[in-house]
């Protein structure tokens, strides 16, 4: 008997699990919500009950809504000038702080050592692999 699942089922929102998307952190299927308002309600609930800091986002893969911890939402664009070693445009961060946050997430999740540096074309900040 799984007590956790009973507790979750008795809460007001039915949590459907995605069969296309899983957490890059835990590898578990993500909870999926049909609309922004449903995702927003679930986030508010979790934030209150569990002191989480979750924000809804629309998934590019399944086009539905998932929740993500706020500190993972590091806004990035692609740099119009810089190309990375694998031939793709480099991710561009608005501020050094955003780039730092992203670097520490990747360090924790993937064990990669990344350095923050200023875009040589003054478009923002980039990450590069440490030596
Ligand atoms: Zn998805
Ligand atoms: Zn650049």
Three-state SS across the chain? CCHHHHHHHHCCCCCEEEEEEECCCCCCEEEEECCHHHHHHHHHHHHHHHCCCEEEEECCCCCCEEEEEHHHCCCEEEEEEEECCCCCEEEEECCHHHHHHHHHHHHHHHCCCEEEEECCCCCCEEEEECC
Q: Which residue, of 70, 86, 106, is where some domain finishes?
A: 70
Q: How confident is the model at residue 88 (pLDDT cuts 50, 70, 90)?
A: confident
Same domain, 61 and 16: yes
* 45 alpha carbon – ligand 2 mean position (Å): 39
pLDDT in tens, 1-51: 545 544 544 444 456 899 999 987 788 999 999 999 999 999 999 888 887
64 and 104 in a common domain: no
- Cα(55) to centroid of ligand 2, in Å? 28
Cα 95 to ligand 1 centroid, rounded to whole Å:
28
Same domain, 88 and 59: no
Q: In the chain, how many domains are there?
A: 2
User: Domain range spanning residue 112?
Assistant: 76-129
């Amino acid at each position: 008997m799984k007590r956790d699942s009973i507790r979750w089922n008795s809460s007001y929102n039915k949590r459907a699990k995605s069969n296309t998307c899983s957490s890059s952190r835990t590898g578990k299927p993500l909870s999926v919500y049909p609309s922004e308002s449903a995702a927003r309600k679930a986030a508010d609930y979790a934030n209150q009950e569990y002191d989480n800091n979750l924000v809804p986002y629309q998934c590019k893969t399944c086009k539905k809504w998932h929740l993500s911890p706020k500190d993972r939402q590091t806004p990035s664009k692609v740099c119009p000038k810089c190309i990375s070693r694998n031939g793709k445009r480099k991710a561009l961060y608005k501020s050094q702080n955003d780039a730092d946050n992203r670097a520490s997430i990747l360090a924790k999740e993937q064990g990669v050592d990344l350095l923050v540096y200023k875009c040589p074309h003054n478009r923002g900040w980039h990450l590069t692999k440490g030596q």
